[in-house]
Amino acid sequence: MRKIISLFKRDYHGSRLVYEEVVAGAEWVLAGEGVATRKFDGTACMVLEGKLYQRHDATVGKAPEGFIPAQDPDVTTGHWPGWILVGDGPENAWHREAFTGNEPDGTYELCGPKIQGNPEKFDRHVLVPHGSEILADAPRTFEGLKSYLEHRSIEGIVWHHPDGRMVKIKRRDFFKPVRPMS
């Protein structure tokens, strides 16, 4: 699974939030193309030929043995997203707990009690197929999306185009994090 572009440009020199300008290559979302799906907050996994892989961000020249590239390395940062086989160590216990071995090939989000603080509130570790929850009521305008995400407890939205392209927007792209008072 390639890195997914954002729908709107980000203010990297100020608020770090998005503003109302579409990222090049994402215009098709505003044109009404593609299907909106729920973006789950977990960690990406892939099932390939009955084996479970976890997302791994390698750097050029430092890819581990068995690394499966998801795309070419980023020419600016050198980051190289891809996949490595889930191992037998304790660091992969939650992956193994969620994996039944019956999942079809595809990409998934590992969610559960020990993943990212469990914002999805799962009782156990599960593999959620990417694109499995369609958001038929998702708007496609800046203000519409901001309001939509403000009133829902979801990480965000991923649009899937029939030709395989994807675009995302996260709830936190619109709102500064609330800091607890001390």
Looking at residue 181, its pLDDT comes to: 53
Residue 12 resides in a domain: yes
Using one digit for the tens of pLDDT, what is the confidence trace for 111-152? 999 999 999 999 999 999 999 999 999 999 999 999 999 999
User: What 3-state class would DSSP assign to 94?
Assistant: helix
Looking at residue 139, its pLDDT comes to: 98
Q: Same domain, yes or no, for 56 and 112?
A: yes
Q: Which domain holds residue 87?
A: 41-132
Q: Same domain, yes or no, for 21 and 55?
A: no
> Residue 96 and residue 21: Cα distance in Å, rounded?
41
Q: How many domains does the chain have?
A: 2
Residue 182 resides in a domain: no
Q: Same domain, yes or no, for 5 and 27?
A: yes
Looking at residue 85, its pLDDT comes to: 98
As a whole number of Å, the end-to-end CA separation of the chain is 41
Share of the chain above pLDDT 90, in %: 89
Average pLDDT, the chain: 94
Looking at residue 176, its pLDDT comes to: 79
Cα–Cα distance list, 22 to 6, 29, 37, 109, 168 (Å): 8, 9, 19, 26, 12
Q: Same domain, yes or no, for 126 and 158?
A: no
pTM across the whole model: 0.90
Looking at residue 23, its pLDDT comes to: 98
Q: Same domain, yes or no, for 31 and 67?
A: no
Using one digit for the tens of pLDDT, what is the confidence trace for 68-116? 999 999 888 888 999 999 999 999 999 999 999 999 999 999 999 999 9
Closest CA to 176 of 18, 9, 5, 8: 18
